[in-house]
Chain A
């Protein structure tokens, strides 16, 4: 029966690729409808179980980090192309196995959208869960932030082994208060630490064990919650962390000091931005639950390529074009800080308002664009369906866009023609605009920049 499902799914995959379509969802959707038990049966076979990564910001990059670290020891199955609904995980399973249904995978690492994480747990309760943050995002879908936190709390309670949480996010810490498995100080725990255990499936477990990742108090103000954005006091948590970001310096790469268990590691990350340094702490804390040592974890992090559109760079006739996904106020603010390190000669901000981007433009008004105005030398373009909204927003921060060009390809072409060889162009883009820009940039780029072989 699984063989039928696999053939159906794989044939759909092949058919989509023949016609040149992106195939992250449909094969999974077809199999999900025709063979509802397929995913559960396949995942139960994984010796090291399933890791789910969820939260508002950083899911794709962190999933990639976790998969890369674990890939040094295990065969990893992952949905790293951004298909983060349940069907995306089925597509990943289909891609991983052979036409005869064979798979050598030991562990699955799945990024899941918050709402789909709940649906996934009904199909397969994961052994491990990593929750990054709960921030204002897609309120047109979820209504309000507390609703999202409530959804993630359900996912945490369904997790059988180990839950890794951001101690600096009060909404996530509240979730821990409802879990009874205790707090781990070194990332390990008898039930799920790997070899020889049943991955927490015995059912006798008192609930998942919790461990935390975090950032040092000195860095805490750089990672504000939505409440803190508007002058709420910065909350400092003293919960014990298994992985903690101690310092971060933004230059061409992201230089960071990360404490992993008891060891302090210097790591140079290829993904741009302080937020990715925080994601690295999250991935390290999760990897510790597999009993990996600090050196192995740090080695994995050093080799992680930027995920699709998350600080990826392209070389267009000698100009370096850096693509940064932005989708909500907190993420946009953190991404804007990369301007200081990159000193771009031009900046493109591309805002679409399709369903996957969020239809509501209000969020642009909760972003402080001061970093853009400090960089007066940069030539500024707004683009995407809501190019005019973005230009209007900047206008009210006293910043004049040099060009308002709704067409994405034209905007990026103008920007790269405007700057000299050797210059950097930073492109901030919402989700659907990023897919198009990625294609445009792949076409324009003569050769990949050193760190751009990522994804697709």
Chain B
């Protein structure tokens, strides 16, 4: 693929119950609508990561599924770290976000290793943080829905994606939400987050082309519906 992008969808069968598959659809369509080529490559347990990946997308799943993929994910750790260093764009939601960190410490005291792409650590808790969330970032306001019991703390090498306006965010105490390092983004926002945040979606596309030293003018799309839906969502109770 010379003039388009390769999107990798991580664990589509295992990590899919919160609608995050929609992020793949949003990016794919926004490329297609502009006449840019796009290939979506699903990567499941046992599959190799494609070497020409431009954007990696991962979603949330059941706690049990997270256990199932954990081993495989850690096995891909060295490749994922190399890709992150190489500037591959990644967007990881919820469970996938947690696994991109150093580790997940469960309520029962088990350590589930992550891959350490993001400098974050997550601890299981007894309460589940559930509700509509609005997050202010440098790419505008992101609208989504959080539903997690893991509490995530950021280390020095990660910066928050943004600050929560009404939700609990990473841990319910410091108002941060998500984490970022270069082109790697992690967040608890389902929704799917890119649907009602077209500016952030285009930012990811832009970064993927920039990394390939391609100057691609992203034609503006008609985002009337996305903005209308975002405005309604921003006015809904938590």
> A interface vs B, CB < 8 Å?
136, 139-140, 143-146, 226-227, 229-232, 353, 359-366, 385-386, 388-389, 391-393, 395-398, 404
Contacts and interface: CB of A to CB of B under 8 A. Distances in A.
Interface string B127-151: 0101110000000000001010100
Contact of B18 (A139, A395, A404): A139
B44 to A, nearest CB: 8
Interface in B73-90: none
10 contacts: A144-B62, A144-B63, A230-B12, A230-B13, A359-B131, A360-B147, A365-B192, A391-B229, A392-B196, A397-B25
A385 B145 CA distance: 16
Contact of B63 (A146, A227, A229, A362): A146
B149 A361 contact: no
B19 interface: yes
B163 interface: no
A386 B132 CA distance: 13
Main SS class of interface, B? mixed
B147 A139 contact: yes
Contacts of A361: 19, 145, 191, 233
Interface residues of B, number: 38
Nearest to B230: A388
Contacts of B132: 359-360
A95 to B, nearest CB: 33
Interface of B: 12-13, 16-22, 25-26, 29, 42, 62-64, 128, 130-132, 145, 147, 149, 190-192, 195-196, 225-226, 228-229, 231-233, 236-238
A10 B87 CA distance: 69
Contacts of B149: 143
Contacts of A145: 17, 62
A395 B17 CA distance: 21
A27 to B, nearest CB: 28
Contacts of B232: 385-386, 388-389
Contacts of A226: 16-17
Contacts of A404: 225, 228
A404 to B, nearest CB: 8
Given A143-B130, A230-B16, A360-B190, 19 more contacts: A144-B63, A146-B64, A227-B13, A353-B236, A359-B238, A360-B132, A360-B145, A362-B145, A364-B19, A365-B20, A366-B16, A366-B17, A388-B232, A389-B196, A392-B195, A392-B196, A393-B195, A396-B26, A396-B29
Nearest to A397: B25
Residue among A364, A366, A388 having the largest count of chain B Cβ atoms under 10 Å = A388
Nearest to A360: B145
B130 A365 contact: no
Contacts of A393: 22, 195
Given A146-B64, A392-B229, A396-B29, A136 B17 contact: yes
Contacts of A391: 225, 228-229
A229 B14 CA distance: 11
B141 to A, nearest CB: 16
Nearest to B17: A136
Given A392-B196, A392-B226, A396-B195, A365 B21 contact: yes
A385 B63 contact: no
Contact of A144 (B17, B191, B233): B17
Nearest to B227: A388
A143 B148 CA distance: 8
A407 to B, nearest CB: 13
Contacts of B237: 359
Question: Which 6 A-B pairs have CB atoms at the shortest separation, nearest pair first?
Answer: A362-B19, A365-B22, A365-B19, A388-B229, A388-B228, A360-B145
Contacts of B19: 360-366
B21 to A, nearest CB: 6
Nearest to A358: B145
Contacts of A388: 225, 228-229, 231-232
B187 to A, nearest CB: 13
Residue among B13, B128, B226, B229 having the largest count of chain A Cβ atoms under 10 Å = B229
A398 to B, nearest CB: 8
Given A230-B12, A392-B226, A359 B236 contact: yes
Contacts of A146: 62-64
B144 to A, nearest CB: 8
A386 B190 CA distance: 16
